[in-house]
Structure 1
Amino acid sequence: MTDTRIRFSQAQKDLCDYFHSTRGYSLPDAEHLSENTPVFLKKLVSKLEDRSFDQSIRRLLCFHPINEFEPFLESIGLSPTKYKHLLPKNIIYLSDDPLLLENYHVLWSYGVPRIKIGRIYLESAEVFRYNEEVLLSKLKNYENFGISRAAIVKLVTCCPNLLVGEVNLNILRVYEKLSSLGVQFDLVIQCLSDRSKYNWSQVSEMLTFLDRMGFDKQALATLIKETPVFVFHESGKNIYLLVAILIKVGLKTHEILNLFVKNPHILIGNFVKFLGHSVNFLTEIGMELGDIASIISTHPQILGSSPCRSSDSVLCHLSLPRKSLIDMIKADPTKFTSLACTRSVDEPVNIDEQLFLKEKTEFLLKLGFAECSDEMAKVVSKFKGRGDKLQERFDCLVNSGLDYHDVVKMIKMAPPVLNQSTDVLIKKIDYLTNKLDYPLESLVDFPSFLCYSMDRVRLRFQMVSWVTDENGLLTNSRGATKKYGGKISLSYVLTLSEKSFLKYFVDMKPKGMKHYEMLKKSILGSKGIAN
């Protein structure tokens, strides 16, 4: 462990001791405040002198009181730029604001993750001014209508204003409408994101609109269960535009619902906007509405995959009469993107993107990820290419000897691991265990090893091997030695910047740079610094 890490770890312990022993806060509170405040700790450590670190930090905390609201607000998920204007002007001790602490503990005890409480504080600060029992009674009011505690936690972290004023009747209407369809509210509510804002009145009106459209209730329930995210996407307003477009081209109610059920992805993202462009384009060139409806029914992903150019510019570019262009699209709708859209003709058309998304989602569900959760969304965004390849690569890691649950943990820590082909994964694992002689289990703590290029791995570890002797001692040009217990951390060697790597592993010996340049030329050739 480097000196910086040792100091940071010691600072955490001393800060925890300060909050618990000196200030009298509970141990869970003290631990959370010290373990989830890296920015505050970094600022604290920077004030200390190197030589008397242990004494200085305790002296600093004892004789120079800190503003306790800074680590508190950071520990509940707010960055300094967000909480700077929220700091009280006349007090620095948390204990001087008992209502804040009381309501904070009510939320935490109810099940709201501490790190999520920051958004509530930021958007609805009045919640932390409530007198005893007020906040808990507001939470209980939603429970009394049948909403589960887990759903309420999700609701208040994504929509903090629900805790201000009376019970939100629009939420209750949404709950009742979904329940009448046989859809579990908890299933749908997991699609909420604390990075978005929601208009519950619009969501309620959208569900009423679908009901008035005369959709078959069982089919509608199936659609919501399979693609619950569409209920809240853009607070439901996309559905009006989409239905209007489909009715305009002549689709009947049952045809519209059938289209939704078969292609649920058209209810989210930019599909509606791009479909509108495409329908306008086809109308402008003179295609009959019935033909447009037919193409939408059979190839919706084509018409909603990309914005169109103007019809005049396309006709001019292709030097075609309108009827010829219409006939070409009717004969083969898959040509629409290359003919009419802003996408380059030579650029591959990714019409399977939504299918890939579904495959990725299904793969993560099998691993135990919560459907439509923020965690799932974060991991999915890191995956590239076809979803069916993920299982193959996951199995490759398990078959290498890693525990199934450890591999799941690895994927959560470093999703891009599964962007590597099985051949590459096997090659990197073999190099790790047979060439570098690290245990396979070291990947569990640092799965990102599998994301680094082999060039970077070879270059850095061959240099490390050259500067350390058989006993693991690193000797600098002045004869000083440092012993690395056992193996040097994989993450330490690979994550160092080029400047830091040169400082700690190359410049340690007089001929270090010469040897490093020789290795670079041998391993990288003219490619430069490996990533």
Structure 2
Amino acid sequence: MFHFRKLRLTFTFPIFNFSPKTHLKPSQNPRFLQTTKKSPILQPEKKFTPTTIREAQSALLEYLHSTRSLQFTDADNMCKNSPFFIQDLLSKVKIRKDSVSDMKKSISRYLCYHPINEFEPFFESMGLRPSEYVCLLPKDMIFLNDDVVLMENYHTLCNYGVPRNRMGRIFKEAPQLFRYEQGVLSKKIQAYENLGVAPSTLVKIVTLSPCLLVGGVNVQFVKVVEKLKGLVAKGGSDWIERHLLDCNWGLMLELLCLLGKVCSEEQLGDIIHNHPCVVESGGTTLSLIGFLLKFGLSVNQICLVFLEFPEIRVDQFLKNLRQCFLFFNEIEMEAAEIGKIFQFHSLMLGSSTLKKTNSLLCNLNVGKKRLCRFVEENPQEIRNWAVGRKVQPLENTNEDQISKEHKIEFLLGLGYVENSEEMKKAFKLFRGRGTELQERFDFIVEAGLDYKVVRDMIVVYPQILNQSTDRINFKIELLVKEGYPISSLVNFPSFLSYTPGRVKLRLSMYNWLKDHGAADPGLSLSTVIACSDKVFVKQYVNRHPSGPRAWQDLNAQIHFE
């Protein structure tokens, strides 16, 4: 058993000999003074001079080539392109201050007695950082020449023209390329050359997509090259080298086949030559074609779009089209009218980014219905509403003037004084034409309320009439169906301004609570509707143990409908 009392700690303090010339300051303690004589060994620094690094590279090159019998080009590349390894090597070698000129000898002497793991500078020279190649180091060898298969495939790629410093990506993405038996990798490369792929093209594609050499010949890639040969004046391989070095060959083949059905061979050649971005984008272009087909564009119209494609990216073009569709939907344009505009103005719609709908309504100083009619009659004006352009308000028409007069007449009928401040404020609050406002007012009266009562409700809360008669009718029917008399609107007119989903959820939950004895049957309409969801859940829903669950179920059911 270990006893702490048997532990003996011995502290040894240095003995200092002070000569008569030694002078101590009052604040100095002789126990912490250092000797004036410095050690002849310099501690390694984190940064080394270029001369020191060159000497280390020269010593490592001589070791790898002469001692370890690596090919000179391999050894030279490893020495010049492994800065982390060189730094680590220098930090391990003790160099005397008076023998800096013998740096190379010191490193050579160190290497003779401390064999290195040659795979470390080898992987680093391939473009990998230490953190990337540490998991790739073999566990049972440290000398490169012991891995004959690796070096043979490495030399095959080097001799073919693959840059040595780009092979790290190949090793990470397709390590099986370096495990092929003798001659297999050369045959795979030769197979693509026999199919007409230029060596320079194949080198660049293999560097970016090394999986091309895994397994059998990539038929999709070969078919893409074959199709482009007959469409591009300078040959398919050269065009691929400039535009399609990193792409999904399956999607590319599908796109070329689809464009071949949509366009003639001459037209497809013009698209590839003049607008290569259409073909480069692959999957995005396929999405664009599908988007245009949904709006009824014919194959000839789609072909014309690509022949006159603007100088922007395909993904941005598609994004602009979607923004325009969202705009048409928000101003409540009919589907047939949207289709007509897309069929005849797709190029214009996709060439620039449209402003947001709320911004346009404000800047144009119009309502949704008038803007919708204006766009249907003048679709070319949309180009003037792009982001970055100043939008001018639309001019008033005779129809607008008539609507304004009807609106004033309606307000006068409610009891407002003409040209008064109250009337000006109400004019801004009421949205819609005067005839529409009168129609909505009459609808509420016909629902069972007195004319004067409805007039007082509108004066207190004018936003009621900013909704269509269909929405007003839905809320009134729901109110009566859930057990409230229509007279409840007199004290709570803002009920008609709440969303149908909120109204249905609150009233349904309140009835559930009443059926389960968790809520008083006489709660006012404003108490049930006006409070926030958080307050309603806390004060009413949580009164019953199953209340939260019922609330979630009703919420999901109503939003699903």
Q: TM-score surpassing 0.5?
A: yes
Contact 1:282–1:292 (CA under 8 A) maintained in structure 2: no
In 2, distance between residues paired with 1:117 and 1:312? 53
**Range moving further from structure 2, 222-231 or 121-130:** 222-231
Partner of 1:11: 56
Distance in 1 between residues matched to 2:315 and 2:112, nearest whole Å: 54
Alpha-carbon offset, residue 109 of structure 1:
0.6
Give, in whole Å, the separation in 1 of the partners of 2:343 and 2:266. Answer: 25
Q: How does 1:440-451 map to 2 (within 5 A)?
A: none
1:242 is matched with 288
Matches within 5 A, 1:8-407: 8-49=53-94, 51=97, 52=99, 54=103, 55-182=105-232, 184-191=235-242, 198-213=247-262, 215-233=263-281, 236-263=282-309, 265-266=311-312, 268-285=314-331, 286=333, 288-298=338-348, 300-302=350-352, 305=353, 309=356, 311=357, 315=361, 320-326=366-372, 327=374, 330=379, 332-338=381-387
Q: How far did residue 147 of structure 1 move?
A: 1.6
In 1, Cα distance between equivalents of 2:51 and 2:346 = 62
> After superposition, what is the alpha-carbon deviation per residue over 1:19-54, rounded to whole angstroms, capped at 9, x for unaligned?
212211122111111111222222223334453550
CA-to-partner distance for each residue in 1:182-210, whole Å, 9 max, x for gaps?
4522233224677x5x4322221111111
Distance (whole Å) between structure 1 residues aligned to residue 61 and residue 315 of structure 2: 45
Residue ranges of structure 1 left out of the alignment (5+ in a row): 347-531
Residues 330, 182 of structure 1: CA spacing in aligned structure 2 closer, same or farther, 3 A cutoff?
closer
User: What amino acid sits opposite 2:164 in the alignment?
Assistant: R
For the Cα contact (< 8 Å) 1:70–1:87, is it kept in 2?
A: yes
Whether the 8 Å contact between 2:127 and 2:168 is mirrored in structure 1 is yes
SS at match of 1:190: helix
Describe the shift of the 1:272–1:82 C-alpha distance in structure 2 as closer, same or farther (beyond 3 A).
farther
Alignment check: 8 A CA contact 1:187 1:225 kept: no
Aligned CA RMSD, in angstroms, stands at 3.0
Percent identical residues: 36
Partner residue in 1 for 2:410: none
Give the paired residue count. Answer: 332
1:259-293 deviation per Cα after TM superposition (whole angstroms, max 9, x unaligned): 22332645534332342232232243226433344
Larger Rg, first or second structure (1 or 2): 2
Distance verdict in 2 for CA 1:63–1:336, change over 3 Å = farther
| Equivalent residues of 1:33, 1:72 under 8 A apart | yes
Q: What is the distance in 1 between the residues matched to 2:298 and 2:244?
A: 33
Residue identity matched to 2:185: L
Structure 1 residue identity aligned to 2:91: S
Higher relative contact order (CA 8 A, sep 6+): 1
Cα distance, 1:95 vs structure 2 = 0.8
Whole-Å separation in 1 of the counterparts to 2:380 and 2:200: 52
Tell me, what secondary structure is at the counterpart of 2:366?
coil
Quote the Cα distance in structure 2 between the aligned partners of 1:216 and 1:298.
24
Q: Given the superposition, is the C-alpha separation of residues 244 and 269 from structure 1 closer, same or farther in structure 2, using an over 3 Å criterion?
A: closer
Question: What CA deviation, in whole Å up to 9, does each residue of 1:102-155 have, x standing for no partner?
Answer: 000001111111122222111111111111111101111111212222222122
TM-score (norm 1): 0.56
